[in-house]
Chains A and B, each alone.
Chain A
Amino acid sequence: MSNIHVTTKINGDPTEYLCAPDETLLDVLRDRLGMTGSKEGCGTGDCGACSVTINGRLVCSCLVLGAEAEGAEIETIEGMADGDQLHPLQQKFIEHAALQCGICTPGILVAAKSLLEKNPDPTEEEARYWLAGNLCRCTGYDKIIRAVLDTAADLRKAS
């Protein structure tokens, strides 16, 4: 099995890597590129902890082959803050105590950012359904949903 050379852009950085044909993007990120912010909770697309965006589309990186990223633009949790400036969602998650153990947090933040880009004024129900693929076992989702809705409200005010 020979490796495939992939040229892509991750969080704005031009990136090249070699990967096996059946290697997932998640494994590439974590094991080859040292970007361990995306987490593997299930490996089957059921938990959302590995959420990233590819060309702006929210996906589970465990269900994408590394080879598929050729020419794509990938955004991961590592690229969410702008330098030392946290994304408003990141700030609100800390303020709302929307994380306990924090393992699901990167995936939920990536998914929530994607939600607010698509829908700046989600209802509670819309936020809950959008995030249904991101499992959290600690919080009961209450503070997560509050943090997302509060961020959305702030961003609307600011714009």
Chain B
Amino acid sequence: MRYLAPTTLDDAIQLLSGDPGDCRVLAGGTDLLVRLRSGDAEPDSILDIKRIEDLRQITKEDGGWLIGAAVSSAEMNEHAELKAAYPGVCEAADLIGSTQIQGRCTLAGNLCNASPAADSVPAMVAVRAVARVAGPNGTRDVAVEDIPTGPGKTSLEKGEFVASIFLPAKPDRSGDAYLRFIPRTEMDIAVVGCGLSLTLDNDGTCTDARVALGAVGPKVMLVDAAAEALIGTKLDDAAMQALSKACSDAATPIADKRGTVEFRTHVAGVLARRAAAIAKTRAEG
């Protein structure tokens, strides 16, 4: 096995696309190292992208934020401006694993690991986040929800990797939130996750909303019916109930060691309602 640690994006692309074998990108490593140890992954090369300075940055772009693929969750949550702009995305990243894990894990890694239960993914989808994919043919922007295609699988082509995540500018009076359900208070994988963003007009009517669910299907699920339940309402009880129902109706979970079908289906609705209440408060400022 080889350990590669390029210092420029071009070198990284060249190494990755030129590698004849199985080359895995190492960002935070909190999933990859677990797989190496268990023997689930036996790559020929590991490409560490943390030495690429550009990928370690959080920068403003077009009124939104560009978060490099090597930026850890802890670094995001220490960035006051980013946290104020995207509290939902930041708190989702802040829920991944322990303090120790948060010191390493990244949005891009969480996305490319392609677990349906990834905490940050529904939060990103809710705010229309875009993955900036680098590869031998240049870079392309892909909606975050289009990166995972199923458990452990992504739409990335050979030689491509996610170099950064772009969180686009939000209209005024917008708020986002992420909630997940776990059996303990920390350290568990989401049994259900819900990322939600919404925008209010001046009289409190919801003009835009996006609702994404995690861990209730093979990949993150954008629930249009849930958004529709909110748009045009003042987020009253009836709207919240409709939201809840839309999310439960959309959920197609499996039963496993983390939860039953019935439980996940029900809790998807509960979390959506609670996340909407938080997002509403945030949107109201």
Contact = CB atoms under 8 A, between A and B. Distances in A.
A133 B104 contact: no
Interface string B97-112: 1111101100000000
A57 B101 CA distance: 10
Contact of A51 (B3, B33, B100): B100
B99 A63 contact: no
A68 interface: yes
Interface in B2-41: 2-3, 5, 26, 29-30, 33-34, 36-37
A59 interface: yes
Interface stretch (A41-49, A77-85, A96-104): A41-49
B97 A133 contact: yes
A48 B98 contact: yes
- Chain A contact-residue range equals 20 to 34
A24 B26 CA distance: 13
A67 interface: yes
B74 to A, nearest CB: 7
Interface of A: 1, 4, 20-22, 24, 43-46, 48, 51, 57-60, 62-65, 67-68, 70, 111, 114-115, 129-134
Contacts of A70: 5
A68 B33 CA distance: 12
Contacts of A67: 3, 5, 48
B186 A24 contact: no
A63 B100 CA distance: 9
